[in-house]
């Protein structure tokens, strides 16, 4: 099997040393771009990386360790993506928030203030929102499972339509841009 021409080995400043990037075709969601190092995933995006044009190197295939769980997830299975090897850069606080996001079960949502409470910093709601927005591994670190205290979907790097679709794939019922009552089993504040 020949390598996917959409993958490129590269190095990148300011990030974990990236070994390669590749494009994964996510069922009903379009392309998902992955960048990984020898230690784990560095970045995931629903659009090609803006820094990709700065390098020109050979192609590599996405390793099965990432491709198979992603395929299972987008086929509606509980693939436990948060257990994939990660090598994302961030502050200690961001990593604390991202680790907490990984504790939100599939099919559940949490508010920003609820995440702040869970990390033992109830006044950090805004900081939790900022860390959530800077998550370099959307879908893998499930930032789409965090919604506003008003039950509104809130923002999402990949757009609200994609956030809604990811939550619905996981079994969350949404009316318009609001998570339907009864779906908020982990919702506090």
**Which residue in the list 10, 139, 143, 174 is annotated as catalytic?**
143
Tokens of 128: 């939790």
- Is 102 among the catalytic positions? no
Contact (Cβ atoms closer than 8 angstroms) between residue 29 and residue 81: no
Which among 84, 136, 82 is positioned nearest to 106, based on CA atoms? 82
Helices H / strands E in the chain, number of each: 5, 7
62-89 burial, b at 16+ Cβ within 10 Å, e below that, comes to: beeebeebbbebbeeeebebbebebbbe
Tokens of 23: 């494009």
Contact (Cβ atoms closer than 8 angstroms) between residue 186 and residue 115: no
Q: What is the SS3 assignment for 42?
A: strand
Residues labelled as active-site residues: 143
């Amino acid at each position: 099997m020949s390598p996917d021409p959409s993958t490129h080995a590269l190095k990148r400043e300011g990030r974990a040393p990236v070994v390669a990037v590749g494009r994964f075709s996510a069922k009903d969601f379009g392309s998902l771009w992955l960048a990984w190092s020898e230690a784990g995933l560095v970045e995931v995006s629903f659009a090609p990386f803006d820094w990709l044009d700065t390098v020109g190197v050979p192609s590599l295939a996405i390793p099965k360790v990432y491709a198979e769980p992603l395929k299972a997830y987008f086929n509606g299975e509980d693939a436990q993506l948060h257990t994939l090897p990660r090598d994302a850069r961030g502050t200690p606080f961001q990593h604390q928030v991202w680790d907490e996001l990984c504790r939100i079960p599939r099919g559940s949502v949490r508010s920003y203030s609820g995440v702040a409470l869970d990390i033992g910093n109830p006044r950090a709601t805004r900081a939790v929102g900022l860390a959530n927005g800077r998550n370099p591994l959307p879908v893998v670190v499930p930032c789409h499972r965090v919604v506003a205290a008003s039950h509104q979907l809130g923002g999402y790097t990949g757009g609200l339509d994609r956030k809604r679709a990811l939550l619905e794939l996981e079994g969350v019922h949404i009316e318009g841009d609001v998570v339907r009552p009864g779906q908020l089993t982990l919702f506090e504040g």
